[in-house]
Structure 1
Amino acid sequence: MIKLGITGGIGSGKSYVSRLLESWGIPVYDTDREAKRLTLTHPEIRRELIALLGEEVYCGQQLNKTLLAGCLFASRAHAERVNHIIHPRVYEDFLLWADGLKQQGRELVGMESAILFESRFDRAVDRVLMVYAPLEIRISRAMERDGVPEERVRERIAAQMDEELKCKRADFILTNDGINPVEPQLGQIIQELGCIKACK
């Protein structure tokens, strides 16, 4: 089995690429969605977050998102402490998920993560696909999608890992600029992954 990491900055279109893969029958693990699920259901995450932030971090079966966000944005050190609790469990959950699909005979699965390198999730995958789009296009897409002002989008982008550095670390770069069609690029990458697998 080949595990493909899918990453890209805000507004790059990585979720669109993931949906395309799923429409082609390739399962994709969404780390954002699964992190939210695990934060609510994983007993060790719950225990450690309560130890860090107090009982009020959970309201019954719901997460106190305001309290958690306040901790995450208070400082880099606080964010690292929370991420140290959640990210290793997401990493483990992905490997279990992928192993289950491998047992079913799946040859390719994906992992979508905006912070693939920052969270070190790249260690869990065999190849990395970077979805790239020019900055101004990304800003415009994020403003329209999230209904937030340009300044807020730029702040979020500045807090992420540099796009050029991500491109250097990726095995494949897919350009989603509204000019180059995405599907042929993705199809070519899947073909190349097939060649990689055959050569192993």
Structure 2
Amino acid sequence: MIIGLTGGIGSGKSTVLNMFKKLGFETYVADIKAKNLMNTNAALVQDITNLFGKEAYKNNELNKTYIAEIVFKDKKKLAALNALVHPKVREDFKNFVKKSPAKFIIYEAAILFESGSNKLCDFVITVTANLEDRIRRVKKRDGVTKSQVLDRIQHQLNDEEKIRKSHFVIVNNTLNTTEKQVLTVYNILLKHSKK
């Protein structure tokens, strides 16, 4: 059973993902895999270089700062980058599923719906948190300003839209209540897997 896990920046997807991991779920983090593929897949490296120029890579590593500067200001360039990366991630994930003996696999992606990856999932969970908590978490984690966090949030699908398309919602305000919600979802998924 494949479960999609998504949520806006700073919502606490990683926290929820780790809770499911402790319950025995195998996990695939699309953003990490995408970064890895952008550095190791020769065809993808070439395509990204063609799209952004030689500055796209520095010392054989993806120049994330340079690319982020461009894509956050240019939606067409962002769409073009996504069109290159998502099919490679999807292919990688399908291979991962084939090799995995796990009963449950969580596919975690910040842009699960935007990339169409929700179509790979049997169920989708959206993690939400109140805006102030999200801003505080991202500022602390990434060392950025409030306006930079808000700018990133603007570029993501809003929570209402994600919730509407999801089977489950986990509100991540305190660890204790989040853990209880994860257990509830886990028990429901367990029942479904036995049908």
Aligned residue among 165, 181, 198 for 2:194: 198
Residue deviations 1:47-104, cap 9 Å, x none?
2112222344233431222332233224100111111111110111111111210xx2
Q: Distance in 2 between matches of 1:56 and 1:139?
A: 30
Residue 181 (structure 1) aligns with: 177
Residue 21 (structure 2) aligns with: 22
SS in 2 for 1:160: coil
Q: Distance in 2 between matches of 1:132 and 1:55?
A: 38
Deviates more, 1:173-182 or 1:115-124: 173-182
Is residue 147 from structure 1 mapped to residue 143 from structure 2 by the alignment? Answer: yes
Percent identity, aligned pairs only? 34
SS in 2 for 1:181: helix
Q: For 1:120-159, what aligned pairs fall within 5 Å after superposition?
A: 120-159=116-155
- What is the aligned length? 195
Change (3 A) 1:50 1:25: same
- Post-superposition shift, 1:188? 1.3
Change (3 A) 1:45 1:152: same
What RMSD in Å do the two structures reach over aligned CA positions?
1.6
Change (3 A) 1:147 1:53: closer
Q: Normalising by the residue count of structure 2, what TM-score does the alignment of the two structures yield?
A: 0.92
Change (3 A) 1:38 1:77: same
Q: Distance in 2 between matches of 1:78 and 1:92?
A: 22
In structure 2, give the amino acid aligned to 1:186: V
Is residue 112 from structure 1 mapped to residue 111 from structure 2 by the alignment? Answer: no
Residue 166 (structure 1) aligns with: 162
Q: Distance in 2 between matches of 1:89 and 1:60?
A: 23
Q: Distance in 2 between matches of 1:142 and 1:52?
A: 29
Residue 69 (structure 2) aligns with: 70
Question: Structure 2 regions of 5+ residues with no counterpart?
Answer: none
Deviates more, 1:2-11 or 1:42-51: 42-51
For the Cα contact (< 8 Å) 1:95–1:124, is it kept in 2? no
- Post-superposition shift, 1:179? 7.6
Q: Distance in 2 between matches of 1:135 and 1:25?
A: 30
Q: For 1:86-105, what aligned pairs fall within 5 Å after superposition?
A: 86-101=85-100, 104=101
* Structure 1: 4+ residue segments shifted above 3 A: none
Question: Structure 1 regions of 5+ residues with no counterpart?
Answer: none
